Amino acid sequence: MNNRKALLEAPSLTREKSLKTLVENRTVYALDNCELNLFETYQESVLVPLKFNDLVVTSMLRGKKVMHLFDDPEFEYLPGETVIVPRNTEMKIDFPEASTQNPTQCLALAIDHDKITDTLNFLNERYPKQENFGWKLNRENYFFYNNTELAATLNKLIRECMSTSVTKDALVDLALQELLVRIVQTQTVQSIHSDKAIDTTSVIYHITNFIKSNLSTPINLKALSDKASMSTSSFYRYFKRELGVSPIEFILNEKIKHAKQLLKNPGIQINEVCFMSGFEDCNYFIRLFKKHEGITPKQYQMLNAS
């Protein structure tokens, strides 16, 4: 999972004649175990309150909001980002740039509390984590960038919730289970990077910490599985269950992240960045970087060097 945000497929905006209000115009799709809300705002507004009776997964589709949540500082909320809000928690929202030419659009997926509990219990019974924190949602890491897997699951939920299929409730239930898995995995990755709300005695913490501390040296799956005192196949399954990516994908993402930090130095050469990030082939490094970030390392350096 890298730091590049995966955007969602934004549904069509409501036709002007059908708008009921210019601030948080709401379209609702109610299902057995969730409710998909699409909100659109067409004029600047401040401190608009919003609260749900169930936990809600929100994700920006268009435009910009400023969120006021918990007692934390306000923060900008943009497409490609997701915020999870516990049930009965009031958020207040500013719309500093909203207009008829530049509306905001955001989804809010309220998920039935029993559905969440049943899914997490099922995961803990059938796929128990070896760490003591198990499958659970983490209130501390409530804001994150959408990775490709999370975005694909949210897109699937949007399509199914808006469909007219007679089996849509069954399909949505399966997608909700997948969404909860993706969220827990995404939060685990975020916890590892921030050292926030993660068990620092856990195997996954020590393995990922070892990877981040040794990016410039070759790291293979056998060495990692030995370090975790597991067979290679057991370690691979364990790692992917915890983080949602394979060990190799995690290593490559960390190398790219390290390269991005190095590229903030305007005087560093691309081949230096390549080798300092643990890559042996500069052409491969450039291709991989462009695949992850959408631009070449040189272009990234020109845009971000300080």
Looking at residue 291, its pLDDT comes to: 85
Query: What are the DSSP calls for 192-235, one per residue?
Result: HHHT-SS-TTSHHHHHHHHHHHTTTS---HHHHHHHTTS-HHHH
Structure tokens at 98: 């909203």
176, exposed or middle or buried, with CB in 10 Å at 0-12, 13-18, 19+?
buried
Give, in degrees to the nearest 5, the angle at Cα 3 between 80 and 196.
100
Looking at residue 196, its pLDDT comes to: 57
Looking at residue 204, its pLDDT comes to: 84
- CA-wise closest residue to 278 among 218, 234, 216: 216
Looking at residue 270, its pLDDT comes to: 92
In angstroms, the CA 213 to CA 252 distance is 14
Looking at residue 1, its pLDDT comes to: 39
- CA-wise closest residue to 225 among 204, 244, 199, 202: 204
Residue with tokens 């370090």, as numbered in its chain: 227
275, exposed or middle or buried, with CB in 10 Å at 0-12, 13-18, 19+?
middle
Q: How many CB atoms lie within 10 A of CB 254?
A: 20
183: part of which helix (H) or strand (E)?
helix 168-194
The stretches in the chain having pLDDT less than 50 are: 1-2
